[in-house]
Each structure stands twice: as structure tokens, then as C-alpha cells.
């Protein structure tokens, strides 16, 4: 299991996660994608599952019933750790296939299916690299001091600081500076 907090064992920290991704980072990513004409979906719900594995058909159908648009394994705990570190965090999800809710053609060769998925991933990766370049060279200021992500720990620490071991405080002081 992946580590999901910097504060395990010595403090109760509950960052607000109603919107787990930074709104400003999202605007920059969407604007950059539109500027270079890379197809994006500006709205959607990401369902994160523990991997490494693919969904069962039952899980895939459940994720769709919940309103999930993208199923992946990599947005959590990264988004939570970024929020605890007060870092603006955006997500670029690279779609490779429809998950197992959409059955593949019964007569489709498994190697052909794998080749199709790998081709989709390569095309998505190429677009992602273009997008990263567009973000880094684009007109948007990537640093936003007044973004809510930058002060997400202000009300998140629920443990009385006098009860936290000084050595633990020292390890994480960079998060509170």
C-alpha cells in the first residue's frame, strides 16, 4: 500500500479535498491544450483504484454507475500528498481503452488488441509531451501565490502542536514554512 500522508503516526491532518485538483492548474492545462489543438475533456470524474491491476467487469460497471468517466491508478495518493505539501497539482489522464465495461470483439486477436491499446497510449503520450511543452512555454504564470492550494494546511492540523514530538516537527517543517 502506498503512503497517503506525510503525517502518519504523530498528527491528525485533514486537508480539504472536495476538489482534489488545483483549479488554476486545470485552467492552465485546458487553455494550453486548446491553444495547441490537443483534444481534451474539460469536465469529468476520475475514479482511482488501487493497482497494479485492471478492473473486473463488475468494478468497471460500478465505476460507470457512480458517474466515473476515467478509471486510473495514479491520481491518489498523489493529489492528497500534493495538497498536504501545499503544491498546486493538476492531472493529465491518458486514456488507453474503454476498460472492460465495453466488451471487445469476440474474434479480435489478443495481440491485435494489445497493439491497438499500445498505439492509443503512444498517441496520448505524444500529445501529453506537446501539452507539457505548451504549458511551460505558454503565457500563463505558473506560480499563483493566492491559490487555495498554497495554504491548505492552515486549518488542516487537528493535533495540538505541543503534543507533537520536536523531531517529527523538524522532519516536516518545510511544509509549514
Instruction: For residue 112, tell me if it sits in a domain.
Output: yes
- Residue span of the structural domain in which 41 resides: 23-176
Q: Would you place residue 12 in the very low, low, confident or very high pLDDT band (cuts 50, 70, 90)?
A: very high
Instruction: For residue 39, tell me if it sits in a domain.
Output: yes
Instruction: For residue 29, tell me if it sits in a domain.
Output: yes
- Report d(CA 154, CA 54) in Å as an integer: 37
Provide the CATH number for the domain around residue 85: 3.40.50.1580
Q: Would you place residue 110 in the very low, low, confident or very high pLDDT band (cuts 50, 70, 90)?
A: confident
- Report d(CA 147, CA 15) in Å as an integer: 15
CA 152 from centre of chain: 17
Count the domains in the chain: 1
- Does 97 participate in catalysis according to the annotation? yes
Average pLDDT (54-75) is: 93
Q: What is the pLDDT of residue 105?
A: 75
- Report d(CA 163, CA 156) in Å as an integer: 16
- Does 126 participate in catalysis according to the annotation? no
Up-side HSE of residue 126: CA atoms within 13 Å toward CB? Answer: 6
Q: What is the pLDDT of residue 119?
A: 94
Pick the residue with more confidence: 73 or 144?
73
| Mean pLDDT across the chain | 90
Query: Which range is least confidently modeled, 31-45, 73-87, 163-177?
Result: 163-177
Q: How many residues does the chain have?
A: 177
Average pLDDT (80-95) is: 94
Instruction: For residue 31, tell me if it sits in a domain.
Output: yes
Instruction: For residue 92, tell me if it sits in a domain.
Output: yes
CA torsion angle 130 133 135 139 (round to 10): -120
- Report d(CA 172, CA 177) in Å as an integer: 9
Q: What is the pLDDT of residue 158?
A: 93
Average pLDDT (119-140) is: 93
Pick the residue with more confidence: 99 or 22?
22
The catalytic residue among 97, 154, 165, 168 is 97
Q: What is the pLDDT of residue 177?
A: 73
Instruction: For residue 3, tell me if it sits in a domain.
Output: no
What are the φ and ψ backbone dihedral angles of 47, each rounded to 5 degrees? -105, 125
Q: What is the pLDDT of residue 176?
A: 78
CA 76 from centre of chain: 6
Amino acid at each position: 500500500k502506498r503512503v497517503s500522508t506525510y503525517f502518519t503516526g504523530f498528527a491528525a491532518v485533514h486537508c480539504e479535498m472536495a476538489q482534489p485538483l488545483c483549479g488554476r492548474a486545470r485552467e492552465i492545462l485546458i487553455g494550453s491544450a486548446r491553444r495547441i489543438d490537443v483534444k481534451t475533456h474539460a469536465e469529468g470524474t476520475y475514479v482511482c483504484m488501487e493497482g497494479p491491476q485492471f478492473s473486473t467487469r463488475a468494478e468497471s460497471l460500478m465505476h460507470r454507475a457512480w458517474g466515473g468517466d476515467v478509471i486510473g491508478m495514479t491520481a491518489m495518493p498523489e493529489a492528497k500528498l500534493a495538497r498536504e505539501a501545499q503544491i498546486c497539482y493538476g492531472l493529465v489522464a491518458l486514456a488507453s481503452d474503454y476498460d472492460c465495461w465495453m466488451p471487445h470483439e469476440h474474434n479480435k486477436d489478443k495481440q491485435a488488441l494489445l497493439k491497438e491499446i499500445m498505439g492509443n497510449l503512444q498517441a496520448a503520450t505524444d500529445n501529453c509531451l506537446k501539452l507539457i511543452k505548451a504549458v511551460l512555454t505558454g503565457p500563463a504564470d505558473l506560480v499563483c501565490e493566492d491559490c487555495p492550494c498554497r495554504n491548505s494546511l492552515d486549518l488542516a492540523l487537528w493535533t495540538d502542536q505541543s503534543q507533537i514530538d520536536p523531531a517529527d516537527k523538524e522532519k516536516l517543517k518545510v511544509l509549514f514554512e
